Structure 1
Amino acid sequence: MEAIVLDPGGSLRRAFGLLRLLGEGGAAGLRLTELAQAAALPPATVHRLMRLMMTERLVTFDPASKHYRLGLELFLLAAQASNPLGLRDLARPGLLRLTAELNETLFLLVHNGYDAVCIDRSSGPWPIRSFTGDIGGRVPLGMGQGSVAILAFLPDAEQDEIIRHNTPRLRQLAPFSEGWLRRELLRVRSEQVSGGLYPVNPGMAGLAVPIRDGTGRAVAALSIGTTAERLDAERRAGAREALMREAALVEAGLNPFDPSLHRAAAAMEPVSR
């Protein structure tokens, strides 16, 4: 097998950029010329990197259509990496119970640096629009009920840093007020639940509760996505109770000595966006 020799500041970054472009291209994949144009790289460079990634089964090539696609090996690696803290294993039965009990779509989001990432989903019968979309989707902390539930239960200094960093990002995505977000975080801390109507997603609504470690710090959130007409006061109270019950079961199963509990904060590095 040909060894992949990548310099830290060049080829590695380009290779990851090409993988992201293939992911955005969907199941159909992309041609070499399309990849080169989107990446602003010479076709010869793209061809070399794709050939190297094909040897590692990270990328596949269809000779008939001339399209490159993400390889199965990449998905196998992602499946191993997307289970921090064993949360998917711990939370999966609860997601299924909640979907059956509430007849709604459930999401499991984890804290990752300045973002919340969806690592599992259990779909209900109603079509919904969500901020994270499917498994693997991410949003800045502060956007959507799941990420707000996480942000509300982080230490004050970390919360301040995240708000400072994410404010420009949030303003690009939706009408945003830092004052509103800080008031909402205080409310969530008091009521132990985040959510309501989506001002930037008309007709949608949701609820979320944090999943916390032994220190009270949020590491994840359980979130419901539904329609506004289905989330009346009575259903909201019942959903809140059910979410908190399942979150408590997950929290009881967390390993307090797992070093990955501390990786989310470690992933926060000042980055200008």
Structure 2
Amino acid sequence: MAEDTVPAGETVGSIGRAVAAIRCVARGGAEGRRLSDVAREIGLHKATAARVLATLTETGVLRREDDRRYRIAPQFLEALGLPVSLGALRQRARGELMELVEKVEDTGLLSVRSGLESLCIDRHVGRHPLQALSLDVGARRPLGAGAGSLALLAFLPRDERETILAALADRLPYRSVTAEAIRHHAAEARRDGYTYLPDFVVHGMTGIGAPVREPSGLIVAAVSVAGVGDRLKGPRRDEVARLVLEACGRIEARLAGGA
């Protein structure tokens, strides 16, 4: 049947299924989604979901890798003005993150937004004998619950911040981490240019973080440092905050230059 003779309802339905599949795969982030995951989450028969995913793969929206999982294709993200891939982002940020950790001797983290959560995509451990290791690669936290996570939230437009906090109202797993506390610390972050969270998520642990923006101004990641005891408090707070901001600036320069 020629394309222009396809019933309007069928065409709209096909577009709706494709959009739902793209959203489902996007929520999978770097982990991707299996065919069975997509079929179940968007309520399609497995054979129908397979046809939708195959079409999206053929047209360059998705890619299917050796682990049989679907992920958003880098060229599609690039067309939308987003980072080419998490892998490329991690690669461009790694040298700067390692240099930061070498200077501060505490744990350094690189995080990205994944829906209502932050996702840690890289971690480097410093040389100091006591390290803050509560977050590892692949770990997720609600937006606002942690220095890097808060950096991904605090600098968003107000309406978007409030929408996220409303959606998280019943999903904040820490007694000390409330929507009101997040609002307070987010306001301080916008005033200072970086996040500072002493004894917030974990007692005895302090985090300092800042956002990383691509050339368009879109926040694509956050760099943060976590330390135990008084490592990031007192006079050292300003020094570490400066180093975090400088690292973010260098990463942004690498993103702008494509290096």
| Same structural fold, with TM-score higher than 0.5 when normalized by the shorter chain | yes
Does the CA contact (< 8 Å) of 1:214 and 1:256 recur in 2? no
Counterpart of 1:185? 186
Partners of 1:117 and 1:137 within 8 A in 2:
yes
Q: 1:167 to 1:99 in 2, by over 3 A?
A: same
Task: Give a deviation string over 1:31-75, Cα, whole Å, max 9, x none.
Answer: xxxxxxxxxxxxxxxxxxxxxxxxxxxxxxxxxxxxxxxxxx659
Take 2:68 and 2:126, find their aligned partners in 1: how far apart are those partners?
Answer: 24
Task: Give the Cα–Cα distance (whole angstroms) in 1 for the partners of residues 174 and 206 of structure 2.
Answer: 18
TM-score, length basis structure 2: 0.64
Q: Could you say what secondary structure the match of 1:174 adopts? A: coil
Tell me the SS of whatever aligns to 1:168: coil
Question: Is residue 111 of structure 1 aligned with residue 102 of structure 2?
Answer: no
Gaps of 5+ in 2: 1-33, 44-65, 75-83
| One-letter identity of the residue aligned with 1:252 | A
Query: What is aligned with 1:153?
Result: 155
Structure 1's 204 and 75: CA in aligned 2 closer, same or farther, altered over 3 A?
farther
Aligned length: 192
Which residue identity is paired with 1:251?
A: E
Shift of 1:140: 0.9
Moved >4 Å (runs of 4+)? 4-8, 10-13, 73-78, 80-83
How much has 1:253 moved relative to structure 2? Answer: 2.4
Distance 2:240 2:68 in 1: 33
TM-score normalized by structure 1? 0.61
Question: How far does the alpha carbon of each residue in 1:13-42 deviate from its partner, in whole angstroms, 9 at most, with x for none?
Answer: 9xxxxxxxxxxxxxxxxxxxxxxxxxxxxx
How far, CA to CA, are the matches of 1:208 and 1:12 in structure 2?
36
Q: Please, which runs of 5 or more residues in structure 1 have no aligned partner?
A: 14-72, 258-273
Deviation at 1:252, TM superposition (A): 1.8
1:155·1:217 contact (CA, 8 Å) conserved in 2? no
Distance 1:136 1:83, change over 3 A: farther
| SS, match of residue 98 in structure 1 | helix
Task: State how 1:104-253 maps to structure 2 within 5 Å.
Answer: 104-125=106-127, 126-131=129-134, 133-170=135-172, 172-253=173-254
Residue 175 of structure 1 and its aligned partner are, at CA, apart by 3.1
CA-based RMSD of the aligned residues comes to 3.3
Cα distance, 1:100 vs. partner?
Answer: 1.1
Q: Percent identity?
A: 29
Amino acid at match of 1:94: E
Q: Could you say if the C-alpha distance between residues 158 and 103 of structure 1 is closer, same or farther in structure 2, counting changes exceeding 3 Å?
A: same
- For residues 212-267 of structure 1, what are the alpha-carbon distances to aligned partners after superposition, in whole Å with 9 as ceiling and x for unaligned? 2334332211010111221232211111111111101111222599xxxxxxxxxx
Q: Which residue of 2 aligns with 1:266?
A: none
Report the equivalent of 2:94: 92
CA 1:120/1:75 → structure 2, altered by over 3 Å: closer, same or farther?
A: farther
The alignment partner of 1:106 has SS state of strand
CA distance in 1, matches of 2:230, 2:37: 54
**Amino acid in the other structure paired with 1:177:** T
Quick one: which amino acid aligns to residue 97 of structure 2? L
In structure 2, distance between residues paired with 1:191 and 1:75: 45
Aligned-residue offset at 1:160: 1.5
Q: Secondary structure at the match of 2:156?
A: coil
Give 1:183 shift. 2.1
**Mapped partners of 2:93, 2:191: distance in 1:** 24
Query: In structure 1, what is the Cα distance between the partners aligned to 2:101 and 2:199?
Result: 21
Equivalent residue, structure 2, for 1:42? none
Q: How does 1:69-88 map to 2 (within 5 A)?
A: 74=67, 83-84=85-86, 86-88=88-90
Q: 1:112-134: per-residue Cα shift (whole Å, max 9, x none)?
A: 22111111111113444455x21
Decide whether aligned partners of structure 1 residues 77 and 159 sit closer, same or farther in structure 2, where only a CA change above 3 A counts. Answer: same
Counterpart-to-counterpart distance in 2, 1:7 and 1:253: 35
Separation in 1, partners of 2:153, 2:187:
10
**Is the contact between residue 148 and residue 223 of structure 2 (CA under 8 Å) also seen in structure 1?**
yes
1:62 aligned residue: none
